[in-house]
Structure formats: structure tokens, C-alpha cells
Amino acid sequence: MILMKDIIREGHPTLRQVAKEVALPLSEEDRKIAESLMEYVLNSQNDELAEKYDLRPGIGLAAPQINVSKRIFAIYIEGEDEPELDIIAINPKIVSHSVEQTFLGSGEGCLSVDRPVEGYVPRYARITIEAYDLDGKKFKKRLRGLPAIAFQHELDHLNGIMFFDHIDEKNPLKANEFAQPLE
């Protein structure tokens, strides 16, 4: 299982690389990598396991964060009755997006960043994405809200981008005129 010691931190060059597309159908190795990312995310949201193994909670995790420069990430966002988003995404891409932007009023955090970084991270408010699942089957989703924000945070990791790259240096708590805060 992935532990915090396996997660690379800012300054590690892999976090700034553009990750490579993954061959389909997935090799056994790549399937295990994908499953381990989701396993971490789920474990980190389980109070008992998170405490037992000292895991920082996360709603997503991308392969580059465990020093694997491949286009794979997992996202799990709990919902009322069913998860808001529960995906393992292979070779993901945004195929279209709204002009309108959004951001989390509380900003974003990252397991690869061991410091709080204040500021609004502008994201597309609504996105249409395409990716492949563990079985190599292509899927398409329209996302909004936190799922859309999380998808963009993880996709950034595959392109060597960190969330703080998007924060306006001069005025971190400025929201541009197209952006509406998420709740």
C-alpha cells in the first residue's frame, strides 16, 4: 500500500515532468499502479486507517506523485447516497469546458506540497472529459463543482503543473470576473 513516505514532494523533478501516455490494454504493472492510487485515496478517507498509517487525506492522487510519470490518476469524492465522483482515469483529457470559472474559497492543498499555500485557484466551472478505465474502455463525463476542480488538479499533475502555479501572485485572493466561488 502507498504510504506518505512514497509520495514525492515539491522540488522533486518528476512533479514538473509531462507524464507519458499509457499503452492499452493496461499491463499488469500499470493496473496495479492505478489500483494502488485509488487504494491510497480510499484509505486516506478512512479515519481508522488514516490514523493507523499516518495518511494525509486526499480526494485524488496522480501517478507522478508516487514518482511514476504515467498518465494515470484516481479520484474519490464521497456524496450523500453515492459518491460524487469515483474514477480511475487512464490517459485523461478535457475535451471541452465552460468559459465560466470557479474556485474553492478555502483554496487547494496537495500531498506533494508540505506547506499551506493561500489563494484562489481558478478552474473551469464545467468540463467534459474523456479517459479510459481499468479495462481499457473509453468513458466520457460532464463534471461540475468539486469533481470538476479535482479532475483539473489531478490532470495538472500529469502535465507538471502544481495548484499554486495558478494563484495570482500579486493578489492571491482576487477572483477574476468570470469566476464564481464554489459554495
Ligand X SMILES: O=CN(O)CCNC(=O)c1cccc(Cl)c1Cl
Nearest residue (CB) to Ni ion, 86 versus 136: 86
Counting residues that bind Ni ion (by CB under 5 A) gives: 1
Piece in contact with ligand X (CB under 6 A), picked from 87-95, 101-109, 126-134, 137-145 = 101-109
Which one among 77, 157, 164, 167 touches ligand X, defined by CB under 6 A?
Answer: 157
- In 3-state terms, what secondary structure has residue 128? strand
Would residue 28 show up in a list of annotated catalytic residues for this protein?
A: no
Site string for ligand X, 55-94 (x = CB under 6 A): ---xxxxx--------------------------------
Beta bridge partner(s), residue 110: none
What amino acid is encoded at 83 in this protein?
Answer: P
> CB under 5 to 8 A by kind: which of Ni ion, ligand X, none does 147 bind?
none
Nearest residue (CB) to Ni ion, 24 versus 161: 161
What amino acid is encoded at 58 in this protein?
Answer: G
Q: Give residues in contact with ligand X (CB under 6 A).
A: 58-62, 104, 108-112, 149-150, 153-154, 157
Q: Give residues in contact with Ni ion (CB under 5 A).
A: 110
